[in-house]
């Protein structure tokens, strides 16, 4: 085989490998020769640092070369100071250069570690190996870009069940706003006027009409009734509000309840609704047992003394204390 020693036998791959190794050896020999030449030329320069020598030895060598022959004391001191300053400056420059090289090396190591840490797929290892071909370099750049990407949340995943302080704060603010609106609306309803038809009952009926507010309690209503009836009935003038009773649909309504409660809760009595305070009758011509009566009777205002005396006689015998938890629908349907 051409270019090989006599008697060599091998494949073409062996020949290529041998030629590559020979080129490497030749390049190394050239580097060594250049270093030898440079080292030999540096030996004659007193201002340059010699490898393997201490600072004091270098200083003495350079000072001896500068002070050959007779010199004055001032020249002697001046040259020694100049040589020491020069050597110190060269040592400082060399130290700075070494520090700079060390920093560059550390920076390269950090970059390599960062690339390794950001890699998410196995083929990103190609970043470290490099490539001699242009296509390979482009692929490595794309891989680095992908490896350094940040993974975010999937917008299609349902996350409403997870805790979210911002969403909870918004919901709390919305609840408080709706609560304030509801309270204002209820206050407006309480202040609405209400016309009440009632009958003062002393064994006979004396029907009257009075204006009140929906938010008034039964006690406040009875106080206004007492003021309205006092000029006509002597027994009303001499009694107190606590001794007056309000009976609506055969139920005695305690003083602490308000008309607003009866209206909002759609309360019902034995013979009709407790949330209507006018007087009207059910005028339907066809009776339907599945539909409640639509009629309202005037409430009665009576003295407690009269009730205690006549509670065994109709209609007082039907009267009961109002209980919000008790239902009276069965008394207000046709057929019962």
- pLDDT surpassing 50 at residue 331: no
Tell me: the pLDDT tens digits for 126-136?
544 544 555 55
Report d(CA 257, CA 322) in Å as an integer.
10
| Position 265 in a domain | yes
Percent of the residues in the chain that have a pLDDT greater than 90, as a whole number: 10
| Position 136 in a domain | no
Three-class SS state of 159? coil
CATH number, residue 314: 3.10.20.90
Residue 300 corresponds to which tokens in the numbers above? 């009665």
Beta pairing class for 299-303 and 244-248 = antiparallel
Contact between 276 and 251 (Cβ < 8 Å): no
pLDDT of res. 82: 77
- pLDDT surpassing 80 at residue 16: yes
| Position 213 in a domain | yes
Query: b/e per residue, 100-131, with b = 16+ CB within 10 A?
Result: eeeeeeeeeeeeeeebeeebeeeebeebeeee
Residue 197 corresponds to which tokens in the numbers above? 């038809």
Tell me: the pLDDT tens digits for 76-125?
777 777 777 877 888 888 888 888 888 888 888 887 777 766 555 544 45
| Position 95 in a domain | no
Query: Is the preceding peptide bond at 315 cis, omega within 30 degrees of 0?
Result: yes
Higher-confidence residue of 191 and 63: namely: 191
Percent of the residues in the chain that have a pLDDT greater than 70, as a whole number: 69
pLDDT of res. 142: 53
pLDDT of res. 180: 92
pLDDT of res. 1: 44
Report d(CA 268, CA 249) in Å as an integer.
8
Please state the domain count of the chain. Answer: 1
| Position 36 in a domain | no
Tell me: the pLDDT tens digits for 57-82?
666 676 666 666 666 777 777 777 77
| Position 179 in a domain | no
In terms of C-beta density within 10 A (0-12 exposed, 13-18 middle, 19 or more buried), how is residue 310 classed? middle
| Position 261 in a domain | yes
What separation in angstroms does the CA of 96 have from each of 85, 103, 154, 204, 220?
16, 11, 51, 120, 98
Residue 178: pLDDT band (50, 70, 90) is very high
Residue 328: pLDDT band (50, 70, 90) is low
pLDDT of res. 54: 56
Name the pTM for this structure.
0.45
Least confident of 36-50, 127-141, 154-168, 207-221: 127-141
| Position 26 in a domain | no
Report d(CA 334, CA 200) in Å as an integer.
28
Report d(CA 198, CA 253) in Å as an integer.
13
| Nearest residue to 125 via CA among 105, 109, 139, 108 | 139
- pLDDT surpassing 50 at residue 263: yes
Tell me: the pLDDT tens digits for 208-259?
899 999 889 999 999 999 999 988 888 888 888 899 999 988 898 999 999 9
Average pLDDT, the chain: 76
| Residue range(s) defining the domain that contains residue 202 | 193-275+298-321
Report d(CA 71, CA 73) in Å as an integer.
7
């Amino acid at each position: 085989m051409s270019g090989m020693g006599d008697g060599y036998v091998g494949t073409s791959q062996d020949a290529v490998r041998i030629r590559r190794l020979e080129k490497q050896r030749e390049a190394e020999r050239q580097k060594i020769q250049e270093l030898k030449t440079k080292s030999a030329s540096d030996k004659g320069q007193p201002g340059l640092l010699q490898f393997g020598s201490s600072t004091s030895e270098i200083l003495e060598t350079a000072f001896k070369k500068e002070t050959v022959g007779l010199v004055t004391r001032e020249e002697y001191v001046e040259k020694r100071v100049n040589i020491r300053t020069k050597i110190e400056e060269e040592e400082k420059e060399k130290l700075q250069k070494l520090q700079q090289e060390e920093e560059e090396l550390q920076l390269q190591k950090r970059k390599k570690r960062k690339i390794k840490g950001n890699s998410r797929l196995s083929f990103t290892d190609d970043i470290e190996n490099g490539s001699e071909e242009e296509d390979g370099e482009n692929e490595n750049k794309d891989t680095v870009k992908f490896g350094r990407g940040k993974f975010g949340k999937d917008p299609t995943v349902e996350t409403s069940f997870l805790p979210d302080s911002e969403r909870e704060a918004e919901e709390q603010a919305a609840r408080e706003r709706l609560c304030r609106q509801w309270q204002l609306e209820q206050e407006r309803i309480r202040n609405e006027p209400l016309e009440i038809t009632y009958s003062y009952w002393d064994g006979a009926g004396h029907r009257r009409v009075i204006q009140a507010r929906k938010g008034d309690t039964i006690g406040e209503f009875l106080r206004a009734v007492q003021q309205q009836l006092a000029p006509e009935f002597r027994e009303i003038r001499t009694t107190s509000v606590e001794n007056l009773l309000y009976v609506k649909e055969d139920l005695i309504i305690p003083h602490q309840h308000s008309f607003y409660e009866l209206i909002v809760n759609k309360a019902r009595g034995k013979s009709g609704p407790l949330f209507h305070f006018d007087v009207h009758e059910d005028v339907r011509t066809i009776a339907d047992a599945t539909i409640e009566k639509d009629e309202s009777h005037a409430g009665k205002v009576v003295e407690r003394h009269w009730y205690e005396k006549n509670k065994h006689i109709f209609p007082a015998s039907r009267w009961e204390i109002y209980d919000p938890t008790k239902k009276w629908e069965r008394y207000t349907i046709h057929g019962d």
